Amino acid sequence: MSNENTNKEHAFSAKNMRLLTAPLSKDNPITVQVLGICSALAVTVKLKPAIVMALAVTIVVAFSNLITSMLRNTIPPRIRIIVQLVIVSLLVILVDQVLKAFVYDVSKQLSVFVGLIITNCIVMGRLEAFAMANRPWQSFIDGIGNGLGYGIILVIVSFFRELLGSGTLYGYQVIPEGFYNFGYEDNGLMILPPMALILVGTIVWIHRSRNKDLIDKS
């Protein structure tokens, strides 16, 4: 892997760094590539699961990108989706088993997300779009970048949903008791999935109004 890199460019060259930063904004997996929306709706009720999910997805995308990229010249195109799926599932199950054995508490928090990671469109999307055509190191960075880009949106959405829906942040009460005495009420709609969609929509709107080149030309 390093041999491939040395004869061309430095591992942390500006071009490679762009792979890391582009998904955070201009090439965001959720708001621009529209991948991984389903899990973004499911896990953003509270901040904590959103952060755990973001980390888990980042790790899985990065390593499945790396492995797929190393194997890319041997994978027959006709069964490439199957091969990708096997790599992703293998990673997820291995991670799950190790967590269960050594950090049982964390694995319990992740329980439902583990299945969600395998089906997360971002993973397959990046394998197909990037790892199958690029070198391992670049693929690895691309995975990290996309995982973080996904994470940012998750954190923003869950921040508002938890604050407005439950009056807490990361499980701690932040809206003072006094507000409730004056008739303030948590917005129950925020807890339900449609609100996540509306929030994501709002983010897309703000994002595009500030980045005119993201607006569709048609």
Partner 1 sequence: MFSNRYIFIYSTIMVVVVAVLLALAATLLQPYQEKNIRVERMRYILTSINVENTAANAEELYAKYITEELVINVDGEITGRYKDGKMEQGSRRAFDIDLRTEMKKLKEGGTVELPLFIAVVGNDTLTVFPLQGKGLWGPIWGYISLKNDYSTVAGSVFDHKGETPGLGAEIALPEFQKQFVGKKIFDEAGKFVSVKVIKGGVKNSKTPEVHGVDAISGGTITSNGTSLMIETSLQMYVPFITKNQSHE
98 binds partner 1 (CB under 8 A): yes
102 binds partner 1 (CB under 8 A): yes
Binder of partner 1 out of 42, 51, 55, 214 (CB under 8 A)? 42
The two counts, helices (H) then strands (E), for the chain are 10, 2
Q: Report the nearest approach of partner 1 to the CB of residue 36 (Å).
A: 16
Q: What secondary structure does DSSP assign to 40-57, as a single string?
A: HHHS-SSHHHHHHHHHHH
Neighbours of 21 (CB within 10 A): 14
105/44 Cα distance (integer angstroms): 20
Tell me whether residue 22 or residue 114 sits nearer to partner 1 (CB atom): 114
DSSP state of 169: E
111 binds partner 1 (CB under 8 A): yes
Binder of partner 1 out of 6, 14, 101, 181 (CB under 8 A)? 101
Question: What is the sign of the dihedral through the CA atoms of 32, 25, 70 and 94?
Answer: negative
Q: Report the nearest approach of partner 1 to the CB of residue 46 (Å).
A: 4
82 binds partner 1 (CB under 8 A): yes
66/138 Cα distance (integer angstroms): 8
Q: Whose structure tokens read 């964390």?
A: 106
Binder of partner 1 out of 81, 90, 133, 206 (CB under 8 A)? 90
Q: In the complex, which residues of this chain contact partner 1 (CB under 8 A)?
A: 42-43, 45-46, 49, 74-79, 82-83, 86, 90, 93-94, 97-98, 100-102, 104-105, 111-112, 115, 162, 166, 188, 191-192
